[in-house]
Amino acid sequence: MEELFIGTGDPLREFVSVLSYHLPRTIAFMLFFPLLSKANGSNLIKMSVGSALILYPVLASTQYFTAPQTAPAFTLLTFLSEVLIGSLLGLIIAFPYYAFKGFGALVDVYRGATFAGQVTGNDAGEELPIETLFGYFFTALILAGPGLHAVSVHLLQSYLLMPPGTFSLLGADLWLQTLLRLAADCLTFAVLLSGPVLIAVLAVELAVQIISAFAQQLQVYSMEYSLKSLFGILALVGLLHFAEEDIFWLFRQYSESLNTLLEVGR
């Protein structure tokens, strides 16, 4: 099916038509993008970033859809393929983010934090403090490092390698294998990263048990939460210092995964 632009004389209609071809992929990608989650951004930020990401490929494509040329009609199959591509690209970015948050939540649970310990009641029941900290930590790495640029470049390259309506189901198995491998790497990384901090927290708990058994009058149980938090955060700071190369390796890993997925459309 084709939609003819001949004789319309309306550049706005042509622009909106091309925009409709590119919009589903970017919207699906934004749903998984960590920087645009509920906790990290407002609707205004989402619309601003989404507009910047979608307008560039649209403006670059409009030169090919001028009269008397034609543009492919937007079908249901095209829409589903665009949503699938955007979702898979978004999942590649989201896996490291949730690995970091899972690490923070694990530390919070073992140091005795609860949802009642939130600073404000508005966030109670949603995230634990260290979990939120690691979410912001990953966001800072994205903004300060090459992550945001790499994400934007890969999303734009996906339009060049796989224009709307050209995704083939024959390459879907490669997408799935890459996603599963990256998910396993991120979970393994989160578990290994949480190990030293959890050891420090459990060591403090063991020390408190021993001291309270021989000196009950000290009432060290009243200081257990503070001590576990203090030594856990100190271990966290030291771990981040020595694990810097591993963290950046994780960024390179999902960047390579994006490149692998985009090879499907070549």
**What confidence tens digit (pLDDT) does each residue in 107-149 have?**
777 766 655 444 444 444 566 777 777 777 777 766 665 566 6
Mind listing the pLDDT tens digit for each residue in 31-42? 777 665 555 555
**pLDDT for 120:** 45
Mind listing the pLDDT tens digit for each residue in 182-211? 777 777 777 777 778 788 888 887 888 888
**pLDDT for 105:** 78
Q: Mapped to the 3 state alphabet, what secondary structure does the chain carry?
A: CEEECCCCCCHHHHHHHHHHHHHHHHHHHHHHCHHHCCCCCCHHHHHHHHHHHHHHHHHHHHCCCCCCCEEECCCHHHHHHHHHHHHHHHHHHHHHHHHHHHHHHHHHHHCCCCHHHCCCHHHCCCCCHHHHHHHHHHHHHHHHCCHHHHHHHHHHHHHHHCCCCCCCHHHHHHHHHHHHHHHHHHHHHHHHHHHHHHHHHHHHHHHHHHHHHHCHHHCHHHHHHHHHHHHHHHHHHHHHHHCHHHHHHHHHHHHHHHHHHHHHHC
Total domain count, the chain: 1
* Residue 165, domain extent: 2-265
